[in-house]
Amino acid sequence: MEETMKFAIAFLAACCAALVPSCVIADDNPVEQLVVTAARTPLSINALGSAVTVITRDTIERRQARYVSDLLRTVPGFAVSQSGVAGSQTQVRVRGAEANHVLVLIDGARANDPATGDEFRWEFLSTANVERIEIVRGPQSAIWGSDALAGVVNIITRSGGTLLDAYVESGSRDTLNSGVNASIGDASWNIGIGIDRLATDGFNIARTGDERDDSDATTGSLNASLDLHESFGIRFAARTVDAWSQYDGIDFFDTGLPTDSDFALDTSQNYAQVATTLGATNARVRHHLGARYSDTDNRNIVDGIEDTRSLSDRLSLAYQADIRLGRDLLSLALERETTNFTQRGPVEFGDPNQQQEQDVSSAAAEFFGHVGDRVTWVASARYDDHEHFDDALTGRLSIAWNRTESHTLRAAIGTGHKNPTFIEMFGYFPGQFRSNPDLQPEESTSYEVGIEQRLADSLEMHLTVFRQDLENEIDGFVFDPQTFEFTAENLAGSSTREGVEASLHWLVYDALSINASYTYVDANSENIREVRRPLHSGSVDIDYGFLDGRARIALVADYGGTRTDTFFPPWPNPPETVILSNYWVVDLAARVQLTPQLALFGRVGNLLDTRYEQVLGYRTQGRAAYVGVRATFGDGAPN
Task: Categorize the per-residue pLDDT at 351 as very low, low, confident or very high, splitting at 50, 70 and 90.
Answer: confident
Report the distance separating Cα 190 and Cα 213, nearest Å: 40
Domain for residue 453, yes or no? Answer: yes
Confirm if 169 and 180 have CB atoms less than 8 A apart: no
- Residue closest to 155 by CA, chosen among 92, 105, 85: 105
Which amino acid is it at 405? E
Among candidate residues 84, 130, 86, 83, the one with its CA nearest the CA of residue 104: 130
Query: CA-CA distance, 630 to 180, in Å (whole number)?
Result: 10
What are the φ and ψ backbone dihedral angles of 7, each rounded to 5 degrees? -65, -40
Query: Starting from the edge strand earliest in sequence, which strands make up the sheet with 485-490, in order?
Result: 428-429, 433-434, 485-490, 474-480
Strands 51-56 and 474-480: unpaired
Confidence (pLDDT) at 145: 93
pLDDT of residue 16 exceeding 80: no
pLDDT (tens digit, 9 = 90+) per residue, 27-74? 333 445 788 899 999 999 989 999 899 999 999 999 999 999 999 999
Size of the chain in residues = 639
Residue 29: what pLDDT?
37
What is the pLDDT averaged over residues 620-634? 94
pLDDT at site 460: 93
CA distance 338 to 315: 5
The pLDDT assigned to 636 comes to 61
**CA-to-CA separations, 553 to 132, 542, 617, in angstroms, rounded:** 21, 8, 34
Mean pLDDT of 102-107: 94
pLDDT for residue 480: 75
What are the DSSP calls for 279-321, one per residue? S-TT-SEEEEEEEEEEEEEEEEEETTEEEEEEEEEEEEEEEEE
The predicted structure's pLDDT at residue 638:
60
DSSP secondary structure, 159-224, as one string: -SS-EEEEEEEEETTTEEEEEEEEEEE-SSEEEEEEEEEEEE-----SSS------EEEEEEEEEE
Q: What is the pLDDT at residue 230?
A: 86
Closest by Cα among 334, 316, 336, 333 to 272? 316
**Segment (H or E) for 3:** helix 3-16
pLDDT tens per residue, range 479-505: 777 777 889 999 988 899 999 999 999
For residues 501 and 51, the answer to whether their CB atoms sit within 8 Å is: yes
> Strand, coil or helix: what is 16?
helix
CA distances from 237 to 185, 190, 220, 234, 402 (A): 15, 12, 11, 10, 37
Note the pLDDT of residue 32. Answer: 55
- Report yes or no: 352 and 308 within 8 Å, Cβ to Cβ: yes
Which stretches of 90-183 are DSSP H helices?
141-144
Nearest alpha carbon to residue 366 among 353, 380, 376: 380
**Phi, psi of 425, rounded to the nearest 5 degrees:** -90, -35
Q: What is the pLDDT of residues 237-269, one digit of tens each?
A: 999 999 999 999 899 889 999 999 999 999 999
pLDDT at 637: 61
What band does 182 get if pLDDT is binned at 50, 70 and 90?
very high
Cα gap 407→460, rounded to integer Å: 10
Tens of pLDDT, residue by residue over 400-455, are: 999 888 899 999 999 999 999 999 999 877 777 888 999 999 999 999 999 999 88
CB atoms within 10 A of CB 552: 20
Residue 97 lies in a domain: yes
Number of domains in the chain: 1
Indicate if the pLDDT at residue 379 is higher than 70.
Answer: yes
Strand 78-82 versus strand 90-94 pairing type: antiparallel
Q: Is the pLDDT of residue 352 over 90?
A: no
Q: What pLDDT is stored for residue 578 in this prediction?
A: 96
Contacts of 474 (CB under 8 A, 6+ apart): 420, 424, 439, 442, 488, 489, 490, 491
pLDDT at 133: 97
Residue range 460-486: average pLDDT? 88
Sort strands 151-157 and 102-106 into parallel, antiparallel or unpaired: parallel
The torsion defined by the Cα of 42, 45, 51 and 53, in degrees rounded to 10, comes to 90
Q: What is the pLDDT of residue 162?
A: 84
> How many other β-carbons are positioned within 10 Å of the β-carbon of residue 549?
12
**Contact between 544 and 553 (Cβ < 8 Å):** yes
Where in the sequence is the domain holding 77, given as residue range(s)? 3-634
**Is 639 contained in some domain?**
no
Residue 411 domain-assigned? yes
Q: Is residue 218 part of a domain?
A: yes
CATH of the domain at 238: 2.40.170.20
Gyration radius from the chain CA atoms: 24
d(CA 284, CA 263): 57
Residue 21 has pLDDT above 50, yes or no: no
Strand partners, 392: 384
3-state secondary structure of 258: strand
Q: Give the other-Cβ count within 10 Å of 137's Cβ.
A: 31
pLDDT in tens, 213-243: 999 999 999 999 999 888 999 999 999 999 9
Q: What is the overall mean pLDDT for the chain?
A: 90
Q: pLDDT over 70 for what percent of the chain?
A: 94
